[in-house]
Chain A
């Protein structure tokens, strides 16, 4: 906070509501707001494919697995390994359920269920060698988001906001949107966007797809804009008088927060109002804006990005295909494919892709072994290997990084841990992961934990 601005502010009473931008919303007096080195990107859009997409149907084709389809899974792979719902069951191989084709100059192999994403083969970097530590949804998401399995740690969005602050004057710096469909909708906890022990203004704010987009953002029933404005104005004048008496900086911040709240009451509806979008743009996304679909959320993500939101997280709950993985992955892919592709195209056309990091992926992968049989055959949770992709500023498009073994079970080359992914993300934002720490209860915490990890240099341009 700038003391001079504040002094001007208090001595002149309130200039009209909304006229003075005093500080950044949800950004932080307490955030560091200094990158360690020149950042490649300004913001992150995390397209979280919740439930665990099957890498074997999406980005990691395995010919050998196809050959062994229906046969017993070689015990050399699975002995002593942790299983989820397949515990104690006979383990049979299940070949990839979809064909893969080569795309772009890079000849990247992508499943036929992603006709739209495939068009961006030369823009994206697929990592086929992700692995994680947690085999069930809730802790696996927690690990992906916070780098720890102990609940209560800050999410990566909060860490980023803590480091860089927000660029938005009127909107939260960390926004979460959700959609569902195409498979079993696993619950998702607000823990996933919690600020943990970081200051409260760094928390993710979830926008609702129905009703008021943000809790309490609408005036009380019957209260007009003018009325609300008068009330806030009076509150702030009274607070300003009290500030002169009690001399505490909290009250100055409180005044500022009421101004920001009022601006947010206008900015949020403006954000959600997509009337200004051209038909061409709407066709690109292929959705009715505001219908709560993933594609509609992708459009909102672009609008948030334009307005300075630093970290945008889109959850699509629908990838938990324990049964009917063939039909299921196709269904869910249909719900996310065009939206993802549209977002990449749209950002690129506006010259924003270069300053954005896109992360597309789930909390884990799925077993090469079948769960159930016939058409109903699905795949169980799998933590030894899974695929994600990155795109945007600093990312070497057309890269396929890492390799799984012949059956897509374990990792053969270049394993990438969740902490490596975090380190890479922070790196692109100009933050050095092992220097980006916060002290809580006497200990220095960081997103990337205590085990060594590294930036994945090979996927960077």
Chain B
């Protein structure tokens, strides 16, 4: 084992927070407030209900007035005496709080008071500043220098290319792309990166990659989540997100459209789809629930999601009490909720629930209340699927032509039809009557219905489609009929946001919805952020206020998350909390610089990404050199890049892409990859079966997977995708045996391995191992690796040669066919090799 790895393991155990401290002067926001906030504010902070002794330490004047400390004189300060007290009854924080100050923290408080006990406003609530001439690399270097570190060497070219691909489109480069890039990079590295980045940013797959994180934040899913977890219809929203990233819709506009697209004057269909953001939360149709209770749940969820997703603020706590740490009051919580009170909806989606206004007055040809007996969460926006309708029409007219030809070609055609009809009528009166579509049954049960030519045409079509083909035309008709889309596919529905009469919103004491004693509140943003300014009372007003460049949080929160996508963690690691308890950024000036730059460039996300990937900081190697790992095990100083396990969806996409199975279509209704049998057996109302998608729909990217909130697809779940019941701004990075089992045994990966093996063997019997390595890892195997894989190949070949039955079973996994002109044992042995490579840590890691 290498020395560096040992160092890492040992030093990870030590506290690393001191890394960022003690190199220069004490700063309140970075060094002191986190201590006070974590250890003191619960009893001596903003919430008057839990405040002890009337003392608050979050305001300097009050703290001094109450003699908590004397600036410049730690020895005269009560605070210093109390934190050092030995008496159990006196010491602060008190033992029953289970909070303890470390020696280092005590020293910091002492030194800070000695230096004058200066406060500074919370970094995230101040407008971001940018100094002319700064760059990403310069701002990173500034911190590196203090630790005597430098940027690491550039990453190897093939690694850099893979990094750009995974980060920007989420799909690996082809072997040809690798070769081309290596050549271009040799001659002009920066130009090669720029060209590649531009190409990737222009790819339609860029929007898919970006959507993965965004859909987590806005809790996008295909089911309601509560109780029966029935289906909703919102996939058009997912497509809107993808297209918005692809066309580089300015981020401020992106926010406005989602929160209030329906209120924009003369909104486009896309803007109305965007506003379905407000309808993505969980809903319930559990019997016996109360309308009001669930309205309270939905409004609270909207506050939690909207504040966390856009403002990086945890307003959740303020539902029951004033925030213990941040300046959010309970009144702020409910005033924020009031912005959403115009949304036409029910609390209980049962017979008991009521809309605040009769939904009938809102219904139009393209606004419907329900899709079927379970999916009745209207209003839904109904949007024609023009491609599908056109395809249906085309098929119908082709069938008409073929019917005429059939009649001509087959002299007995009319008689056949007549006797079929007579036969069907007889059979329909017997017990063993055949199952027919409702419309057909009715026509058959109505004597002489065929006298009407329209009816006759319907019956004749049905006859031709369902009986044994007697002419080539009839055969063709049957093929075409099978290809005809279902009527239900001709429209796509989406839960939609309609503005109606506002519901009354009260401040709920302790969050209790049954308590109506609280005051009625009006829509207003959090007071300390808006400085009491009246910004207006509509959702559109709120959206514009959030999306304003004056809002100190919005741009910072977003650039921090984009940074995390390209470096593994944000400059502040608490991507959903920029409040007092959130982490002080490792590079506050850089975070500010990026935020200002972002807004200056008209909130262009593509430009932000271009700036990031062209930096030296981004292009460094991720292999730690000795110094950097000792001084900075968590890589907060960025003296190297980060090695990142791919997100769940990308692990799937990568395997499908390498094998060539991937369907590259963009958007559409959600699909169903293979899933273990019986996984939905606990679902009820109604009971659910799972039919895996057929044909090319089986091979869509992971983000199109049907997102069942209560039972997320186990592959996605095992790799840390959230169930999206709530806003999630960060994914767990666990490393579990369930992940190993998934890659080893999930049919998707077994099938991908075999399809890749078949492709490689078909291309030639030589060098299969090297070509497999190139396809999966964009590099050749070393001798040592080659030997291992070769041995595996031969051992497996022997096994498969002696057991043809098992070989056939292994080759039959999945829907894709496998070539029969390759000897089965050879194909199966090659598939064991590709299966091995698809399981490698390197394959699922972006370096």
Chain A residues with a Cβ under 8 A of chain B: 1, 3, 6-7, 10-11, 25-26, 82, 84-85, 87, 135-139, 149-152, 178, 185-191, 194-195, 197, 199-201, 205, 208, 210-212, 214-224, 226-228, 230-232, 234-235, 237-239, 241-255, 257-258, 260-261, 264-265, 317, 380-381, 432, 434-435, 437, 441-444
With a cutoff of 8 Å between Cβ atoms, the chain A residues found around residue B225 in the complex are: 151, 189
- Beta-carbon nearest neighbor of B840 in chain A: A238
- In the complex, the answer to whether B714 meets A215 with C-beta atoms within 8 Å is yes
- In the complex, the answer to whether A6 meets B9 with C-beta atoms within 8 Å is yes
Interface string of B719-763 (1 = CB under 8 A from A): 010110110100010111111111011110010000000000000
Can you list 6 residue pairs at the A/B interface with Cβ under 8 Å?
A: A135-B289, A151-B282, A226-B799, A234-B791, A238-B789, A261-B737
CB of B711 within 8 Å of the partner chain: yes
- In the complex, the answer to whether B723 meets A191 with C-beta atoms within 8 Å is yes
With a cutoff of 8 Å between Cβ atoms, the chain B residues found around residue A136 in the complex are: 227, 284, 286, 288-289
Interface string of B764-792 (1 = CB under 8 A from A): 00000000000000000010110011011
- Beta-carbon nearest neighbor of A218 in chain B: B745
CB of B565 within 8 Å of the partner chain: no
With a cutoff of 8 Å between Cβ atoms, the chain A residues found around residue B316 in the complex are: 150
Binds A, one of B371-379, B453-461, B579-587: B579-587
* B residues 645-673 in Cβ contact with A at 8 Å: 645
With a cutoff of 8 Å between Cβ atoms, the chain B residues found around residue A435 in the complex are: 98
Q: How far is the CA of A217 from the CA of B744 in the complex (A)?
A: 9
- Beta-carbon nearest neighbor of B510 in chain A: A451
Q: How far is the CA of A431 from the CA of B18 in the complex (A)?
A: 29
Which of B582, B643, B828, B839 has the most chain A CB within a 10 Å cutoff?
B839
Which of A137, A212, A220, A253 has the most chain B CB within a 10 Å cutoff?
A220
With a cutoff of 8 Å between Cβ atoms, the chain A residues found around residue B679 in the complex are: 215
Known A187-B710, A215-B679; further 4 A-B contacts with Cβ < 8 A: A152-B722, A212-B676, A223-B810, A230-B796
CB of B412 within 8 Å of the partner chain: no
- In the complex, the answer to whether B720 meets A220 with C-beta atoms within 8 Å is no
Shortest Cβ distance from B5 into chain A, in angstroms?
A: 5
- In the complex, the answer to whether A205 meets B1 with C-beta atoms within 8 Å is no
- In the complex, the answer to whether A222 meets B806 with C-beta atoms within 8 Å is yes
- Beta-carbon nearest neighbor of A235 in chain B: B839
- In the complex, the answer to whether B788 meets A221 with C-beta atoms within 8 Å is no
- Which of A85, A185, A211 is within 8 Å of B678, CB to CB? A211
Q: How far is the CA of A276 from the CA of B504 in the complex (A)?
A: 65
The answer to whether A221 and B809 touch (CB under 8 A), given A210-B678, A254-B841, is yes
Which of B229, B289, B799 has the most chain A CB within a 10 Å cutoff?
B289
Give the size of the chain B interface in residues (CB under 8 angstroms).
114
- In the complex, the answer to whether A25 meets B737 with C-beta atoms within 8 Å is yes
- In the complex, the answer to whether A237 meets B788 with C-beta atoms within 8 Å is yes
CB of B683 within 8 Å of the partner chain: yes
- In the complex, the answer to whether A219 meets B799 with C-beta atoms within 8 Å is no
- In the complex, the answer to whether B711 meets A257 with C-beta atoms within 8 Å is no
- In the complex, the answer to whether A443 meets B282 with C-beta atoms within 8 Å is no
Shortest Cβ distance from A264 into chain B, in angstroms?
A: 6
- Which of A138, A260, A381, A441 is within 8 Å of B227, CB to CB? A138
With a cutoff of 8 Å between Cβ atoms, the chain A residues found around residue B803 in the complex are: 224
The answer to whether A200 and B710 touch (CB under 8 A), given A7-B1, A26-B737, A238-B785, is no
Q: How far is the CA of A248 from the CA of B796 in the complex (A)?
A: 31
- Beta-carbon nearest neighbor of B34 in chain A: A442
Which of B750, B836, B847 has the most chain A CB within a 10 Å cutoff?
B836
The answer to whether A246 and B788 touch (CB under 8 A), given A85-B288, A216-B744, is no
With a cutoff of 8 Å between Cβ atoms, the chain A residues found around residue B813 in the complex are: 220-222
- In the complex, the answer to whether A138 meets B226 with C-beta atoms within 8 Å is yes
* B residues 821-838 in Cβ contact with A at 8 Å: 828, 832, 835-837
Q: How far is the CA of A246 from the CA of B152 in the complex (A)?
A: 14
The answer to whether A199 and B732 touch (CB under 8 A), given A216-B741, A223-B810, A247-B629, is yes
- In the complex, the answer to whether A249 meets B840 with C-beta atoms within 8 Å is no
Q: How far is the CA of A194 from the CA of B710 in the complex (A)?
A: 10
Q: How far is the CA of A190 from the CA of B813 in the complex (A)?
A: 28
With a cutoff of 8 Å between Cβ atoms, the chain A residues found around residue B684 in the complex are: 185-187
- Which of B582, B740, B747, B839 is within 8 Å of A260, CB to CB? B740
- In the complex, the answer to whether B98 meets A437 with C-beta atoms within 8 Å is yes
Which of A139, A199, A216, A252 has the most chain B CB within a 10 Å cutoff?
A216
CB of B811 within 8 Å of the partner chain: yes
- In the complex, the answer to whether B677 meets A247 with C-beta atoms within 8 Å is no
- Beta-carbon nearest neighbor of A9 in chain B: B1
With a cutoff of 8 Å between Cβ atoms, the chain A residues found around residue B361 in the complex are: none
With a cutoff of 8 Å between Cβ atoms, the chain B residues found around residue A228 in the complex are: 744
With a cutoff of 8 Å between Cβ atoms, the chain B residues found around residue A251 in the complex are: 841
Q: How far is the CA of A390 from the CA of B227 in the complex (A)?
A: 28
- In the complex, the answer to whether A137 meets B227 with C-beta atoms within 8 Å is yes
Interface string of B517-557 (1 = CB under 8 A from A): 00000000000000000000000000000000000000000
- Which of A3, A139, A190, A224 is within 8 Å of B710, CB to CB? A190
Interface string of B323-349 (1 = CB under 8 A from A): 001000000000000000000000000
Shortest Cβ distance from A311 into chain B, in angstroms?
A: 16
Q: How far is the CA of A191 from the CA of B683 in the complex (A)?
A: 13
With a cutoff of 8 Å between Cβ atoms, the chain A residues found around residue B720 in the complex are: 200
Which of B228, B732, B744, B747 has the most chain A CB within a 10 Å cutoff?
B744
With a cutoff of 8 Å between Cβ atoms, the chain A residues found around residue B491 in the complex are: none
Q: How far is the CA of A82 from the CA of B5 in the complex (A)?
A: 59
Q: How far is the CA of A82 from the CA of B515 in the complex (A)?
A: 11
The answer to whether A26 and B5 touch (CB under 8 A), given A185-B684, A220-B747, A442-B583, is no
- Beta-carbon nearest neighbor of A253 in chain B: B735
Shortest Cβ distance from B58 into chain A, in angstroms?
A: 15
CB of B4 within 8 Å of the partner chain: yes
- Beta-carbon nearest neighbor of A260 in chain B: B737
* B residues 214-273 in Cβ contact with A at 8 Å: 225-229
- In the complex, the answer to whether B6 meets A7 with C-beta atoms within 8 Å is yes
Shortest Cβ distance from A26 into chain B, in angstroms?
A: 7
Q: How far is the CA of A152 from the CA of B717 in the complex (A)?
A: 14
The answer to whether A187 and B732 touch (CB under 8 A), given A216-B745, A250-B643, is no
With a cutoff of 8 Å between Cβ atoms, the chain B residues found around residue A442 in the complex are: 314, 325, 574, 577, 579-583
- In the complex, the answer to whether B726 meets A187 with C-beta atoms within 8 Å is no
Q: How far is the CA of A187 from the CA of B228 in the complex (A)?
A: 6
